[in-house]
Structure 1
């Protein structure tokens, strides 16, 4: 069930500034064709579909449908042809963000000189973002006070959502500079970076909040834990660490949603999540709709990570 939710709750990787809207109160036919036009114009997988045939078939299947929601099956049939598990239609109920008070937030613990920071997925409103970043900053500060020689970042339960609060929480561990990018056909790369204590997308801050924590031991060794439940922006958070020589990954292969979605609001409150880009790490290596393998596959990643950290300079 968790993996299914990871595929559904995936989201707005490119931020609210890219959300588009359809005209209000369309007919079911207009609504259907509008959704298909968005897929045809923006999907990174659009060349997989014979659009005249697909549109004609969808319109025939929707004849006599009295409601906008009655066209969902036709839209999802075309989504199946695109073949990308990250491109989704969310009903109005599925698209509703949870309340800020109910979301999971980062937590931490430390033992034997090693800090563990658990970073869950994040989907919520601005109040939720403030709560998430504040909790993450407090969790990081609590273990930083013990001057750990190494860090474990646990992404095993990170099923996705908005990546920017996650990266802001992790800014002190990532360090300043380019952390990755989004790339797509005919698009200029959109770079992710860390500076001034928070994550940025191009020239725009990813969060309103800033992480003020500064590490006693800068640029520490970091072990990142992953699993099949690490999905979407959980995978993007993993990718932000890849290419750093002081980082290694442990655990299981990820879910395979290392792509960026543009979010389109539909007239009835549904949302169309359209995969428009792939994630790229700081070295220029692209990812996509396939799982990311860890450096060290293991069923006991925390133990293996601790052993690896103790072989690094500061933890020897």
Structure 2
């Protein structure tokens, strides 16, 4: 943990070790759960040899429904002129469609509303998964540039849009899934992003 945890410089390791040793008096699993909780990062987990997933104890976020969109009785979104909408669903674990279909479906929705001046990008209930697939879906919004980073030990690995494709470091992850480069075609006046208590991780 001291060597590989992403926020290792912010942890009081002496205090963590003391509290974890106390929990070993109960059980090994209790000690592991205590350690993960004290790290404070809900991405961290431990898989036992019996395939039991141990996670930390984190308080549940309060639900804020203030960002709910107005819907008609038939549960469809109200169409507002010059306002485009796309929902970026979680994608990764337990996939319901292939990466290629996911990307194609989202790019099709974007292209059909490309001239809209206002966009709503809905990330509610997007608990994450494959970040590169979701970002590739949104490439029309981005110029060629660095979009973010992953951190591996002390190295920053950039995610970038280059020549219309999505790169993780030097690896072009999207070329096998899109047949042509995606240029920056969406130039809205404003973009509104919706999140809720379940928006997390790669979402």
Please name the residue that 1:228 is paired with. Answer: 197
TM norm structure 1: 0.45
User: Measured at CA, do residues 93 and 113 of structure 1 come closer, stay the same or move farther in structure 2, by a change above 3 Å?
Assistant: farther
Kindly tell me: are residues 216 and 192 of structure 1, through their superposed partners in 2, closer, same or farther at Cα, counting changes over 3 Å? closer
2:168 pairs with 1:198: no
Residues 183/123 of structure 1: CA separation in 2 closer, same or farther (3 Å cut): closer
Alignment-derived partner of residue 5 in structure 2:
43
Match of 2:81 among 112, 125, 147: 112
- The alpha-carbon deviation at position 93 of structure 1 amounts to 7.2
Residue number among 141, 144, 167 corresponding to 2:111 in the alignment: 141
1:181, distance to aligned residue in structure 2 (A): 1.9
Moved over 6 A (4+): none
C-alpha displacement of 1:195: 2.6
Structure 1 gaps of 5+ residues are: 1-38, 63-70, 96-107, 235-316
TM-score by length of 2: 0.66
Superposed CA deviations along residues 12-48 of structure 1, whole A, max 9, x for unmatched, are xxxxxxxxxxxxxxxxxxxxxxxxxxx2321134442
Cα deviation, residue 170, structure 1:
0.1
Measure the CA separation in 2 of the matches of 1:113 and 1:80.
Answer: 46
The separation in 1 between residues aligned to 2:111 and 2:181, in whole angstroms, is 6
Q: CA separation of 1:199/1:93 partners in 2, compared to 1, >3 Å: closer, same or farther?
A: farther
| Alpha-carbon distance between aligned partners in 2 of 1:94 and 1:88, rounded to the nearest angstrom | 7
Across the aligned residues of Structure 1 and Structure 2, the Cα RMSD in angstroms comes to 3.5
User: CA 1:82–1:134 in 2, change beyond 3 Å: closer, same or farther?
Assistant: same
